[in-house]
Structure 1
Amino acid sequence: MSLDLKGPAGLSEPITGKPQLVDYFRGAEKPRAEWKVGVEHEKIGVVDGSFEAVPYYGETGIRSILDALARDAGGAQHAHRENGQPIAVLKEGASVTLEPGGQLELSGAPHRSLRAAREEIERHLQVLRGISRQRGVKWLATGYRPFGTRDEVPWMPKGRYAAMRKSLGPRGRLALDMMLMTATVQANLDWSDERDLAEKVRAASSASPLVSALFANSSVIAGRDSGWLDFRYQVWRECDPDRCGLLEPMFRDGWGYESYVEWALGVPMLFVRRGSEYLDAGGQTFGDWLRTGRLRSGALAEPHLGNWVDHLTTLFPEVRVKTVLELRGADMVPPPYLHALAAIWVGLLHDASARQAAWELTEGWTFAQR
């Protein structure tokens, strides 16, 4: 999940209408010569010997690990804090952040080559292994926590997650499992213009279930074989149908920025952020807020561009558009397979003939078959 670093500050421009939201995506266009690739991956921490979830507090907890990562990065100034507690480490365009159940995520910097992305991951893992070994912590490369239940996993002290626990939890049987128990590896790519993005989105949506199957790595639940190869994929199917899964419009001719904006406007908000406070959105859609200028609580409040950016981070389709194209369907896997995920997506989506081949291979499938 995304790290709320600056929020509406710096994005305080009032939203005047849908064209402004379309322009947000158009402004992310880059010429091919400037395309980069980013890789994000999450790891599930366990106490060595017991396989219990790692707590946040304590000398061997997540907080201690983050403090050590900040020291390795150059000092405490690299730690991002909320209410005085470290919740992330930032350095040179990359960040190490916390998922709700203490999963540790490296959001790598954008790189010009896959080799550079791989080297960044390997450096991170080497440092993390040394820090964690001293604290009796190990990290699992798997798509779902294989031992224990979600009730045994401590929540990380982030206001965003407290708000989402309240608002997203009731929306799906496995929504809290998604937050506390799962881990992924994803690739982030650039696009040149609206047509290029549309082609990439359609090809990626076509191939995403197949890539998920290739990277299936979440078969064990509570220490037993679940009967699933990719239980994490099932978790997403029972999280929130309004904001998760494949999006049928992405397969249609004519899909573009405005199509994505229309879909996002119709999804209920999980919260509205005002400074460091997370307000209950009461299930109101962003589109309703934009039309009325009033929150469901009755308060008059003009939506700003920062609120739109927040909202986009709470949408979880397999193929997600922000200022990069995010390919989110794969389970976390160990190296070297971890590095292969980005290579697959770059090879498939950076070449027009490969994109077309992916579409032709699957265009006969109905949406229900995907």
Structure 2
Amino acid sequence: MSIPQSGGGPVERPEQLAEWLERGCKPAAEWRVGTEHEKFGFLTDSRLPLPYGGGRSVLTVLEGVAAQGWERVHEGEALIGLRRGRASISLEPGGQLELSGAPLRHIHETAAELDAHLREVHAVADPLGIGFLGIGAAPEWTHAQMPVMPKGRYRLMTGYMDRVGTHGTQMMYRTCTVQANLDFASEADMVQKLRVCLALQPVATALWASSPFFEGRPNGHRSWRSRIWRGLDDARTGMLPFVFEEGMGFERYVQWVLDVPMYFVYRDGRYIDALGQSFRDFLAGRLPALPGEVPTLSDWADHLTTVFPEARVKQFIEVRGADSGDRPHLLALPAFWVGLLYHQPSLDAAWDLVKGLDAGTREGLRIAASERALQGEVDGVRLIDLARAALDLAEEGLRARAAAGIPDERPFLAPLRASVETGRVQADELLARYQGEWQGDLSRLYEECRL
């Protein structure tokens, strides 16, 4: 999750909220891709989650990586993250380590960034007997076993989650994802891309599904992480049916976000409890947490990080439906979306592929992807067929980029091509090993899924 945002000065007109989003528009020549991935730290001898403090800890890893050229980010006295250029390393609530990569030109640069990050982490972690898992959900750990990171944002959210849903703390402490951040040229381009991204999130959930275990046993899903998101907080999650309606644009998205209850306001290095309060009241100077104050654009940027739909808009689009995974899958995600979204013929064809799906079918596919991955089907729409067609379009988009001089990114799609040819994803392979050669021993997973 995000570190505090820097968005700008006071909001003096409501129109500034949509204008802030619109400032993300940029010409195609300036489009970049940023990749974010999370991973679980664990102690290799005990397989227990990595605590925040101590000789073998999250803190030790952060300090060791910081010494390799990163700026430290503190909340009070606690080290909670690192920055270098436009990249950052942050902590999820249960100590999951997240790399938020810089906006880069192509996936070969993304691969170099990922590999450099993993080298820096391993240089610190390996001698200490610390490993990292690339998987969508913690396979064995209970909630009681999870450490709690010293971040005010997470303290506020933890109690609130139990009041608004059934799975919120599972999401916070025991899941990991991989995401891509992508640019748009205009409001119309944002709308088309967001619609395609939302409609195809079930395909991403299926192709990247890697969380078939939870609390030490199979959980009945290929992506338990995706199942968790359906039981979190209906006010701020989901497939956003309004995006597919007439009149969608920056302002319509703003109105939805304004209706999402607040978590906090960040002031002077601390998080002020605004749980359940209204950003609309904040705009009017009537926020109970800060009577008489109006928000800044930084407050708006912070509030935008507290909505969690399957794809969301900031000054770029985030695609959010995938489980974390192994290195090939971490790189395949940005390749897939760049191929679909950054080549207009592929984007148009992708919209043609999904524009006939109604809200019920899109939601049904989301559920089917969580449960059965590529074997899911709703109303005659098979996820494996949708995935194959989308993958073909992504490959065509990357082929066009290569013809325009971008280093060929199509090899990064290889793990996805293997999945649509076999119908099996990471979760299927893990379940097969668990039921076969592992003989029900999940300790084998920690080496299998180690990044």
Q: Which amino acid aligns with 1:286?
A: F
Instruction: Describe how 1:105-120 pairs up with structure 2 within 5 A.
Output: 105-120=98-113
Are the counterparts in 2 of residues 167 and 271 from structure 1 also a CA contact under 8 Å?
no
Are the counterparts in 1 of residues 76 and 269 from structure 2 also a CA contact under 8 Å?
no
1:31 matched to 2:24: no
Equivalent in the alignment of 2:76: 83
192-201 vs 127-136, greater mean Cα deviation: 127-136
Equivalent in the alignment of 2:17: 21
SS of corresponding position for 2:68? helix
Q: Post-superposition shift, 1:297?
A: 4.8
Residues 339 and 143 from structure 1, CA distance in 2 versus in 1: closer, same or farther, beyond 3 angstroms? Answer: same
CA distance in 2, matches of 1:285, 1:81: 28
Choose between structure 1 and 2: higher helix proportion: 2
1:366 matched to 2:358: yes
Identify which of 217, 223, 226 aligns with 2:216: 223
Equivalent in the alignment of 2:58: 62
Equivalent in the alignment of 2:230: 237
Are the counterparts in 1 of residues 37 and 99 from structure 2 also a CA contact under 8 Å?
yes
137-146 vs 84-93, greater mean Cα deviation: 84-93
Q: Post-superposition shift, 1:198?
A: 0.8
Equivalent in the alignment of 2:280: 287
Q: Post-superposition shift, 1:175?
A: 0.4
Instruction: Describe how 1:1-370 pairs up with structure 2 within 5 A.
Output: 1-4=1-4, 7=6, 11=8, 13-73=9-69, 78-290=71-283, 292-297=284-289, 299-370=291-362
Q: Which amino acid aligns with 1:103?
A: Q
Flag structure 1 segments of 5+ consecutive residues without an equivalent.
Answer: none
Q: Which amino acid aligns with 2:10?
A: P
Are the counterparts in 2 of residues 282 and 296 from structure 1 also a CA contact under 8 Å?
no
SS of corresponding position for 2:262? coil
Residues 282 and 335 from structure 1, CA distance in 2 versus in 1: closer, same or farther, beyond 3 angstroms? Answer: closer
SS of corresponding position for 2:60? helix
Flag structure 2 segments of 5+ consecutive residues without an equivalent.
Answer: 363-451
4+ runs of 1 displaced by more than 3 Å? Answer: none
SS of corresponding position for 1:310? helix
Q: Which amino acid aligns with 2:325?
A: V
CA distance in 1, matches of 2:266, 2:156: 10
Question: Which is bigger in relative contact order (C-alpha 8 A, separation at least 6)?
Answer: 1
CA distance in 2, matches of 1:224, 1:298: 46
Are the counterparts in 2 of residues 88 and 95 from structure 1 also a CA contact under 8 Å?
yes
CA distance in 1, matches of 2:235, 2:126: 41
Q: Deviations over 1:112-132 (max 9, x none)?
A: 111101110011112212211
Are the counterparts in 1 of residues 75 and 270 from structure 2 also a CA contact under 8 Å?
no
Q: Which amino acid aligns with 1:120?
A: E
Q: How high is the TM-score relative to the length of structure 1?
A: 0.94
184-193 vs 44-53, greater mean Cα deviation: 44-53
Q: Which amino acid aligns with 2:338?
A: V
CA distance in 1, matches of 2:289, 2:110: 45
Q: Post-superposition shift, 1:18?
A: 2.3
CA distance in 1, matches of 2:179, 2:289: 36
226-235 vs 160-169, greater mean Cα deviation: 160-169
Residues 104 and 367 from structure 1, CA distance in 2 versus in 1: closer, same or farther, beyond 3 angstroms? Answer: same
Q: Deviations over 1:52-91 (max 9, x none)?
A: 11100101111011000000126xxx11112222111111
356-365 vs 333-342, greater mean Cα deviation: 356-365
Q: Deviations over 1:277-315 (max 9, x none)?
A: 22222412212322x311135822212211111100111
Q: Which amino acid aligns with 1:200?
A: K
36-45 vs 277-286, greater mean Cα deviation: 277-286
Q: Post-superposition shift, 1:249?
A: 1.3
CA distance in 2, matches of 1:363, 1:34: 28
Q: Post-superposition shift, 1:365?
A: 2.4
Q: Post-superposition shift, 1:362?
A: 2.4
Matched pairs, number:
362
SS of corresponding position for 2:131? strand
Are the counterparts in 2 of residues 167 and 280 from structure 1 also a CA contact under 8 Å?
no
CA distance in 2, matches of 1:355, 1:296: 44
Residues 189 and 49 from structure 1, CA distance in 2 versus in 1: closer, same or farther, beyond 3 angstroms? Answer: same
CA distance in 2, matches of 1:301, 1:334: 46
Q: Post-superposition shift, 1:272?
A: 1.8
Q: Deviations over 1:29-71 (max 9, x none)?
A: 1111111111000001111132211100101111011000000
Q: Which amino acid aligns with 1:19?
A: E
CA distance in 1, matches of 2:156, 2:324: 26
Q: Deviations over 1:190-238 (max 9, x none)?
A: 1111111111011111111111111111101012111100000011111
CA distance in 1, matches of 2:154, 2:50: 17
Q: How high is the TM-score relative to the length of structure 2?
A: 0.78
SS of corresponding position for 2:322? coil
Root-mean-square deviation over aligned CA pairs: 1.5
